[in-house]
Amino acid sequence: MQADDQIGLALTAQAGDTPLSGQFSPPGDKSISHRSIIFGALAEGETNTTNLLEGEDVLRTVAAFRTMGVKIDRQGAGAYRIHGVGLDGLSEPDNVLDMGNSGTGMRLLAGLLASQPFLSVLTGDGSLRGRPMGRIVKPLTQMGAQILGRDNGRLAPLVIQGTELVPIHYQSPVASAQVKTAILLAGLNTAGETRVTEPAVSRDHTERMLSAFGATVQRDGLTVSIDGWPTLTGQSIEVPADISAAAFPIVAALLVPGSDITLTNVGLNPTRSGIVDVLTAMGGRIEKLNPRTVGGEPVADLRVQHSQLKGIEVPPDVVPSAIDEFPVLFAAASFAEGKTVITGAEELRVKESDRIAAMAKGLTAIGSNFTETEDGAIIIGQPDGLSGGATVDSHTDHRIAMSHLVAGLACKKPVTVTRCDNINTSFPGFDGSMRGLGANINRALLA
């Protein structure tokens, strides 16, 4: 295999002779994993987590808090013990905090560090340094934060001189859990009530977990508020399987004839599970088994069977609850009968890559009838299958890479995806897990 900076890890997916079958639990939820480390570090006493996602993004957050003096012990696979230092117990880092490719880590830590009494510097890889930070810098600056960054604070690296902040009521122009959480984290060390109003409800893991740790968090319609200086107390957290990771085997099973798989312990928080609703509306056979609540989060096992999908108009109000899953939804729609129309998803353009453009280019190369729009796509599905037979670029984006590989499982000819290294960001062992279900995904041999 040729492995250089341009190609990196290349994987090939192709239709196999057998359907997908079996059962497994996808990796732990990335959003909840980040937050369990952050809130555990800020709590008093110990926090014990199980099924933590040990992907690169979350491990960057672990490393950052260790640099700030928090003792975090790995007890085994996915099991971590966090020795909390309280809201005012962090130490000034003696080095730059490198968040790698983690937009969640960068934005959440910026909110937290804005109120800490020391200097810190946040940076990341080339992709992260090109992603917009102005959406958090603006409200934090309104609270009194002192933040410097490239392009007037719009881009990382960010230099943060922590200082005493004042509470605000911020009217967010976007429904973003990262923006909301950055403000609420800044509000933890701020006297008074900090409030955030969004245009739509974004994922609410922060509110759920902060309440479990002992903070006073209230919701009134689209407004969330938090009282400053709570006493957070260490908790035991079982991280559910990530619905964003589960979306890839779900779509693969829907597309590959004869497939019947079960995914266990999948988090179905209603602010995150829009992809299940959309795929069900398209005719996907997805059955929720053994619904239960784990650590305040709704969880169920999902049985997924091959289905002939039909194109639909995706309601724009579903977008916030499925934004990370739209790349693989684009792939699913390419095999559906009829037209799928997606609007209101302009947020996809400022993720790890421009995910609309990246999916448009890749899916078109393998035969999809894909029309890119400014805020989404119009896709004319081909239920007889796409041609495949092409090599496509992941743009170093983990979700773009996995989405094209899933599409390749239902194409007439193999699909090779280059620069797949970042799959480890959110789904370590993705190709092995999919092979365990019977998927034909293997390392590519490139000349």
Q: Provide CB contacts within 8 A for 299, sequence distance 6+.
A: 240, 241, 265, 266, 267, 268, 291, 292, 293
Q: Enter the tokens of residue 352.
A: 């790890």
Q: Which residues of 166-190 are buried (b: 16+ CB within 10 A; e: fewer)?
A: ebbebebebbbbbbbbbbbbbbbbb
Q: How many CB atoms lie within 10 A of CB 18?
A: 12
Distance from C-alpha of 229 to C-alpha of 304, rounded to nearest angstrom = 45
Cα angle 87-92-95, degrees, rounded to a multiple of 5: 135
Q: Helix count (H) and strand count (E) of the chain?
A: 14, 24
Of the residues 98, 242, 324, 431, only one is catalytic, namely 324
Collapsing DSSP to helix, strand or coil, 265 comes out as strand
Confirm if 120 and 93 have CB atoms less than 8 A apart. Answer: yes
Nearest to 345 by CA among 368, 324, 359, 371: 324
Collapsing DSSP to helix, strand or coil, 267 comes out as strand
Distance from C-alpha of 376 to C-alpha of 364, rounded to nearest angstrom = 15
Q: Does the bond joining 139 to the residue before it have cis omega, within 30 degrees of 0?
A: no
What are the C-alpha distances in Å from 315 to residues 129, 278, 321, 342? 32, 9, 11, 8
Checking DSSP bridges between strand 119-123 and strand 155-161, what pairing results, if any? antiparallel
Q: Enter the tokens of residue 334.
A: 């390419």
Single-letter code of the amino acid located at 294: V
* Distance, C-alpha 421 to centroid of its chain: 17
Q: Provide CB contacts within 8 A for 292, sequence distance 6+.
A: 298, 299, 300
Confirm if 184 and 110 have CB atoms less than 8 A apart. Answer: no
Collapsing DSSP to helix, strand or coil, 43 comes out as coil
Q: Is 324 a catalytic residue?
A: yes
Residue with tokens 């239709």: 15
Distance from C-alpha of 430 to C-alpha of 411, rounded to nearest angstrom = 19
Distance from C-alpha of 110 to C-alpha of 140, rounded to nearest angstrom = 9
Catalytic residue numbers? 324
